[in-house]
Amino acid sequence: MRLAIIEGDGIGREVIPAAVEVLDAFGLELEKVPLELGYARWERTGTAMSGEDIKTIKGCDAVLFGAITTVPDPNYKSVLLTIRKELDLYANVRPVKPLPGIKGVTGKNNFDFIIVRENTEGLYSGIEEIGHDLSWTKRVVTRKGSERIAEYACKLAKQRNNKLTIVHKSNVLKSDKLFLDVCRQVASSHGVEYSDMLVDSMAYSLMMRPEKYDVIVTTNIFGDILSDMCAALVGSLGLVPSANIGRKYAFFEPVHGSAPDIAGKGISNPLAAILCVKMLLEWMGNPGASVIDEAVADVLQNKIITPDLGGTSTTAEVGHAVAEYVKYAL
Ligand code: ATP
Ligand code: MG
């Protein structure tokens, strides 16, 4: 197993080392391949990522990624989008689960669901024309693209409570009818219990009754919006991990960005990045992955927390405390 490690910019350089300390605590045999990509490198050298870097990444099995500052230059090609395309990471997966002692906007703590977002087509097809009086973007829904995301979501549902919610807007966007039909067919063929929701009522329902849901599958832009919204259910951007999964590769990144406002101070919250390590271990099929949940609960209960959660601990202290718990528990 080879793991590419991309700290990136800003707080990526703080939270990833903390997460790697936790990963190291598992004592696994894996080769770590550090890569320097992003804005800082772009400023220094004029390239954020080279073709050689892509080759190196493709020589790995998975990627642990921090964050990259969005480059304010029209010539800049997004590192993230390029990697997503090159590795064909078609499923964006975000678990939404409360953490002990942390209250989100609704004050509820009885939910536990996963958003599975189609990551390669839909409104983010990249097929568009920008004009003076008319601009348009093509919204692409394919049978193949819908099938593979539905398959992924159904497999996940089978491992959980066998319940799938298909989120769409097929009453207005006729292209979504294909997505909805394919998801229904795939769910039936797997014996997964399913229902469907229009995305607008889903947004409302997720805030009012988040406990109703288990696995949610949806198209690219709806998943993008709903998953950021759901970070507010958990409570802090610094607590939410995500995975981008393909047939061959997987890519793990915290939901937050590079947070230039707090970068370099050593006070960023590493728990989202640490929960990415948990997702990585799950992807690897490591049965010890859930120890990270226990360890995170333990540091939260003992108030070893960063200022965003009202504490005084540093990024490194939190990472170290989680790593020590893991070593002790294993
Ligand atoms: P980018 O351009 O890289 O997306 P951003 O300015 O959008 O960066 P985010 O990282 O998305 O910044 O963060 C938004 C806000 O949340 C910032 O004020 C930041 O300080 C805070 N924040 C984000 N992640 C964390 C974290 N891990 N720990 C503490 N605060 C965080
Ligand atoms: Mg941002």
The model's pLDDT over 127-162, given as tens digits with 9 standing for 90+, comes to 999 999 999 999 999 999 999 999 999 999 999 999
The whole-chain average pLDDT of the chain stands at 95
Helix segments in 160-307, DSSP class H: 175-190, 199-208, 220-234, 271-284, 291-301
Beta-sheet strand order (sheet of 2-8): 31-35, 2-8, 62-67, 250-254, 241-245, 91-96, 113-118, 215-218, 163-168, 193-198
Catalytic residue among 9, 39, 53, 124: 124
pLDDT for position 328 = 96
pLDDT for position 76 = 75
What does pTM read for this prediction? 0.93
- Residue 71 above 80 pLDDT? no
pLDDT for position 175 = 95
The model's pLDDT over 10-25, given as tens digits with 9 standing for 90+, comes to 999 999 999 999 999 9
Please tell me the number of the ligand nearest to residue 254's CA.
1
Local structure of 136: helix, strand or coil:
strand
Ligand 1 pocket residue status of 14, Cβ below 6 Å: no
The model's pLDDT over 204-253, given as tens digits with 9 standing for 90+, comes to 999 999 999 999 999 999 999 999 999 999 988 899 999 999 999 999 99
CA-closest residue to ligand 1 atom 31: 238
Ligand 1 pocket residue status of 12, Cβ below 6 Å: no
Tell me what percent of the residues of the chain surpass a pLDDT of 90.
88
Q: Is 174 a known active-site residue?
A: no
Please tell me the number of the ligand nearest to residue 69's CA.
1
- Ligand 1 atom with the smallest distance to the CA of 273 is 27
Neighbours of ion ligand 2 (CB under 5 A): 257
DSSP string, 97-113: ---TT---TT------E
CB count within 10 Å of CB 57 equals 23
Paired tokens of 134: 């008319």
Q: Is 228 a known active-site residue?
A: yes
Catalytic residue among 76, 103, 228, 303: 228
Ligand 1 pocket residue status of 268, Cβ below 6 Å: yes
Does the structure's ipTM exceed the value 0.90?
yes
